[in-house]
Structure 1
Amino acid sequence: MPEVLRRKPRRIVVITSTSVFSKLHSEDARERADMTSLRAAEDRIMRACERAGVEWTILRPSLIYSEGRDQNVTQIARIVRKLRFMPLYGRGNGLRQPVHAEDLGRGAIAAAISPAAANRAYSTTGETITYREMVGRIFDALAMRRRFVSLPPLAWNAAFAIARPLYPGVTPAMGKRMVKDLAFDSSEATADFGWQSRSFAPSFR
């Protein structure tokens, strides 16, 4: 970062995550620590830019995906292909706003040249759908019939304990978030630099 600032750019655009809000009080200690570090990094970047006289803009997307390359939608697709169904914590009706990486890239360019976006942070989110519907559209993209198994908390915890060795990156908190609304308002980003995100219709072909 210091090397970048020494070159005196007009604007630094930083992409972080809405998880600085949604996971800051997670029951998972590692997630809490990661989000505390990310929020601290945002603060350091803002202060460093201000000292150097450089404008900054922070974009906070939620659930970034790029078919075959991400750790969100692509991971769900792998589970669906392997199990032929998707286990859900409860009804899986928490809200999600998946954002394609290409849209985020275009948004970053638009933010970089927008006077209104100087020294501001934005949520840059996509179409609002339930977690269940998001997974359903992944089934559709894989040309598979939508099949869900809704599990109550006790059954979820038992199933998770059995499956955990197969999915080491998955935590119990991830399941419980399936019923939590993780939706944020991106209207200010739309107003200030024309933020737009495509509807969620992934393609794995």
Structure 2
Amino acid sequence: MEHSVPSVQAPPPTERVAIFGAHSQIAHFLLSGLARQGHRVLALHRQRRPDSGGDAPGITWKRYSPDNLADVLRPGSGLQRAIHLAPLNTLPDILPTLANAGVRRLIAFGSTSTAYKQASGDHAERNLITRIAAAEQDIAERCTRLGIQWTLFRPTLTYGCGMDGNVAFIARFIRRFGFFPLVGAGPGLRQPVHAEDLAQACLLALANSATYSKSYDLSGGSTLAYREMVAEVFRALGRKARMPEIPLSLYRAALNWLRLLPGLRNLSPEMADRMNLDLCFDHAGATRDFGYRPRPFTLDELALRARSD
């Protein structure tokens, strides 16, 4: 199906929206999209802001910490809506501050990984997923008490700006070593979703009451095997596909060495195991309620760029 971008009604020019996680890959597309539609955007982040580039029209940048957020988001500032792109487990504790500042509409991002990582053999991974799942329930309950209309998005494997640990990681590995190892044949199905489509989902749902108090899985427009996804990265890089199949035992034995290399310290046996698992999710509810239509798996220079670019 051909990818199309549904039209979005422009909001009143007085509307103000706070974006948490403003340096994320979804925010890369979302900030300008909101500003083009007339929103006044407050881009919130916890990193040192890059020296290059000032405030774009309609976008104001603010660095914050949990300790000073109440000073950054003061009552009477005109803030009405918030989109939370930062880790979901950081959201519940700041909800009272958002409500006090005037926020009555919230979109937050979790992950479809809560559906399959709770049985992970990696203790740290399992603990993180447990916290995210608990945060989902906590957010729904607190928002109801605070009078905030909430929507939760759970995207699948996200790519698009060279900032992810999926497609961009595969591209970096191929550039460095010239091959990408598969544990087994890599038949597990994937639905990569472009960060720009997730930004568009926010624009479509923000003022749509049909999305209130609902959670949506947001998958991409293509379903392909892990092996096919890696092959697409090789093609986009102009490289011959070299995907040696190795046993899990050999992968485990090489892990201690691989983790010493820059950018590879987060490798785990569980990541290798999942190459052979189907991780597919249905986004029909999002299409029905707010016209979500993700593009097919598409790689461009931005999606493949090195993180330091």
Bucket of the pairwise TM-score, normalised by the shorter protein: over 0.9
Deviation of 1:161 (Å)? 3.8
SS at match of 1:148: coil
1:177 has 2:271 as partner: no
Percent pairwise identity: 40
SS at match of 2:230: helix
Deviation of 1:43 (Å)? 1.4
Partner of 1:34 in structure 2?
128
Letter of the 2:138 counterpart? R
Query: Are the counterparts in 2 of residues 141 and 201 from structure 1 also a CA contact under 8 Å?
Result: no
SS at match of 1:169: coil
Q: 1:146 to 1:25 in 2, by over 3 A?
A: same
Query: Are the counterparts in 2 of residues 88 and 175 from structure 1 also a CA contact under 8 Å?
Result: yes
SS at match of 1:133: helix
**Higher Cα Rg: structure 1 or 2?**
2
Q: Deviations over 1:17-71 (max 9, x none)?
A: 1011121111111110000111111112111110012211000001111232222
Deviation of 1:14 (Å)? 0.5
Unaligned runs of at least 5 residues, structure 2:
1-94, 303-309
Partner of 1:158 in structure 2?
253
Structure 2 counterpart of 1:146, from 223, 235, 241: 241
SS at match of 1:71: coil
Partner of 1:69 in structure 2?
163
Q: How does 1:16-165 map to 2 (within 5 A)?
A: 16-126=110-220, 127-165=222-260
Measured on the aligned residues, the alpha-carbon RMSD in Å equals 1.4
Deviation of 1:155 (Å)? 2.4
Alpha-carbon distance in structure 2 between the residues aligned to 1:194 and 1:8 = 28
Alpha-carbon distance in structure 2 between the residues aligned to 1:73 and 1:27 = 23
Query: Are the counterparts in 1 of residues 161 and 195 from structure 2 also a CA contact under 8 Å?
Result: no
SS at match of 1:48: helix
Letter of the 1:197 counterpart? P
Letter of the 1:35 counterpart? I
